[in-house]
A and B are shown apart, each in its own frame.
Chain A
Amino acid sequence: MSTASAPRRRLSRRQRARVSRGLQYAVLLLAVVIFAVAADWDRIGEAFFDTEVIGELFPQILTTALKNTVIYTVCAFAFGLVLGLVLALMRLSPVLPYRVLATVYIEFFRGVPALLVLIAFGYGIPVALNTEVPGGIVGTITVALGLVAAAYMAETMRAGIQAVPRGQMEAARSLGMSHTRAMVSIVIPQAFRIILPPLTNELILLTKDSSLVYLLGVTLPTRELAKFGRDALNQYVSMTPILIAGLCYLIITVPLGILVRRLEARQAAAR
């Protein structure tokens, strides 16, 4: 306050920063006040948070929709993880054809939309070859999203394996371990610790991508969160189901996000 009354004195850098931050808070507060006054709260409350509709959504939104989202995500992630590791090892192989094959695969599946891959496995391949992916909806989404996720995870895992110091492999080999044994017992466990944060991020992305399953024409018991919310939106003509479905995603993704930050902080501290 004393600085404001001082006659045209130059403000110090810190004082200027404080004034600027104060202004920003003031503008933000004003916007919130205007919004709060101008908004039709009854209407908004009913559209976004209709308690009656919420009552109708439970418990199926948890027992069916959330459960299915988790199942699709975990299956696709597990499939992608295994395939991604194989691809990463192929990328690092001294055998040229393996490297080429893995590179082509990774470039292809990183480049095409997951949606297209899902359509291919849900409709294209069944129509063209008259066979279906075993396991129904779960099988199809596991393969389709897993194939795409594998491409991303392969690159992450390759980087992780390369980040393990060479001396680790040499020490393992000098103790008589085969290359494979050293990889399995020494190098890969260390690589996974390094890449746990990016892998968890990939899991978060997959959680959201699992909503693409609606393309496959899901039935009542196979609906996941997004489809469930949309069906309820049509049924109750309310925004509430969408909001609740969104919150259910956050139940999964926010803890994972916190986990990623924890892991990153721990790695930074260990360095």
Chain B
Amino acid sequence: MTAAAAVEVRDLHKSFGDLEVLKGIDLRIAAGEVVCVIGPSGSGKSTLLRCVNLLEEPTAGQVLVGGVELTDPEIDIDAVRRGIGMVFQQFNLFPHLTVTENLTLPQRRVLRRSKAEAGEVAASGLRRVGLVDKAEAYPAQLSGGQQQRVAIARALAMAPRVMLFDEPTSALDPELVGEVLGVMRGLADEGMTMVVVTHEMSFAREVADRVVFMDDGVVVEDGPPAQVVAAPRHDRTRAFLSRLLDPAAGPASGDAAVKAAGPAEHGAAP
């Protein structure tokens, strides 16, 4: 192990009332590492990500980002969050502001950058995501893919050291997924530390340094994509991946049974 991890999660627990969503998560992410988090819906992936920048208050355990313990009650959480960018499934652009204002307002209000500097950062951010011509547009005038690229640029404008992505392409039409993944791939190539919750297995295979499979509030499997995606050791991982690759196949372990029963039922139908 090298120096302090970019993100470190120690024995993280999170409950909503009686419902325990995270049941002791341990995770270490080195600087420059790209980690994809996969797992069934409701397994706690979003909650884990939201605990990493304290949008959710952990019930127990520790979260450290850049060596700073976020779970320390004395911490200035607003200051720590500046170093953590977050991209949401629903984009969450500010609809009353133009694209440029979406990028400049946080810089000016949080980082106290001058108007000129914020404008420059915004312009270069929009160049990077290929949306210079949309600088004066309002979010409602953009496609989902364009909105998500703006959201990424907005997060990057704050010069974060870590980027969190919560299913950034799940709300997009299939033909718009590529442009967003392309931007994320570029970011990974530049050495950004990234935690990406995603169902895009090709992205996980090609871009991720590590893939973490979560199920029911625990990390089931954690390793390089060649292992977790291509040759999973655990049944739960295998079942999840086969469902993901072949959604029509039906529920987990019953794959073979369902396939066998299929034609018979079909034959019995009038």
List chain A positions with a Cβ less than 8 A from chain B: 165, 167-168, 170-178, 181, 185-186, 189-190, 193, 270
Asked if A176 and B106 make an inter-chain contact with CB atoms under 8 angstroms apart, the answer reads yes
Binds A, one of B18-26, B87-95, B221-229, B238-246: B87-95
- Chain B, range 40-84, C-beta contacts under 8 Å to A: 53, 55, 78-79, 81-82, 84
Min distance, Cβ A13 to any Cβ of chain B, angstroms: 41
Asked if A174 and B84 make an inter-chain contact with CB atoms under 8 angstroms apart, the answer reads yes
The distance in angstroms between the C-alpha atoms of A174 and B162, with both chains bound, is 12
**A185-B105, A185-B109 given; A175·B90 CB < 8 A:** no
Taking A167-B88, A174-B84 as given, write out 20 further A-B residue pairs in contact, using a Cβ cutoff of 8 Å, ordered by the A residue number. Answer: A165-B92, A168-B94, A170-B55, A170-B88, A171-B92, A172-B106, A174-B55, A174-B155, A175-B82, A175-B158, A176-B78, A176-B79, A176-B111, A176-B158, A177-B78, A177-B106, A177-B110, A181-B110, A185-B105, A270-B140
Interface of chain A: mostly helix, strand, loop or mixed: helix
Asked if B110 and A174 make an inter-chain contact with CB atoms under 8 angstroms apart, the answer reads no
Asked if A175 and B55 make an inter-chain contact with CB atoms under 8 angstroms apart, the answer reads no
- Chain B, range 144-203, C-beta contacts under 8 Å to A: 151, 154-155, 158
The distance in angstroms between the C-alpha atoms of A167 and B147, with both chains bound, is 14
Choose from A167, A175, A189, A270 the contact partner of B81 (Cβ within 8 Å): A175
Could you jot down 14 A-B contacts, CB within 8 Å?
A: A167-B92, A170-B88, A171-B86, A171-B88, A171-B151, A172-B94, A176-B79, A176-B81, A177-B109, A177-B110, A185-B109, A186-B94, A190-B95, A270-B140
Residues of A within 8 A of B111 (CB): 176
Residues of A within 8 A of B140 (CB): 270
Query: Is B96 interfacial (CB-CB < 8 Å)?
Result: yes
Min distance, Cβ A192 to any Cβ of chain B, angstroms: 9
The distance in angstroms between the C-alpha atoms of A172 and B102, with both chains bound, is 10
Choose from B86, B90, B96, B105 the contact partner of A174 (Cβ within 8 Å): B86
Asked if A176 and B110 make an inter-chain contact with CB atoms under 8 angstroms apart, the answer reads yes
Asked if B96 and A189 make an inter-chain contact with CB atoms under 8 angstroms apart, the answer reads yes
The distance in angstroms between the C-alpha atoms of A234 and B25, with both chains bound, is 83
Asked if B92 and A168 make an inter-chain contact with CB atoms under 8 angstroms apart, the answer reads yes
Asked if A174 and B53 make an inter-chain contact with CB atoms under 8 angstroms apart, the answer reads yes
Choose from B79, B95, B96, B110 the contact partner of A175 (Cβ within 8 Å): B110
Residues of A within 8 A of B106 (CB): 172, 175-177
Against A, the Cβ 8 Å flags (1 = close, 0 = not) of B98-109 are 000000011001
Asked if B78 and A178 make an inter-chain contact with CB atoms under 8 angstroms apart, the answer reads yes
Min distance, Cβ A159 to any Cβ of chain B, angstroms: 18
The distance in angstroms between the C-alpha atoms of A149 and B47, with both chains bound, is 42
The distance in angstroms between the C-alpha atoms of A175 and B105, with both chains bound, is 10
The distance in angstroms between the C-alpha atoms of A266 and B154, with both chains bound, is 28
Choose from A167, A173, A176, A178 the contact partner of B90 (Cβ within 8 Å): A167
CB-based nearest B residue for A171: B92
Asked if B55 and A173 make an inter-chain contact with CB atoms under 8 angstroms apart, the answer reads yes
The distance in angstroms between the C-alpha atoms of A185 and B97, with both chains bound, is 10
Please provide the 4 A-B residue pairs with the shortest distance between their CB atoms, ordered closest to farther.
A176-B82, A171-B92, A174-B86, A175-B106
The distance in angstroms between the C-alpha atoms of A165 and B139, with both chains bound, is 15
The distance in angstroms between the C-alpha atoms of A193 and B90, with both chains bound, is 21
Asked if A174 and B109 make an inter-chain contact with CB atoms under 8 angstroms apart, the answer reads no
Asked if A173 and B96 make an inter-chain contact with CB atoms under 8 angstroms apart, the answer reads no
Residues of B within 8 A of A181 (CB): 109-110
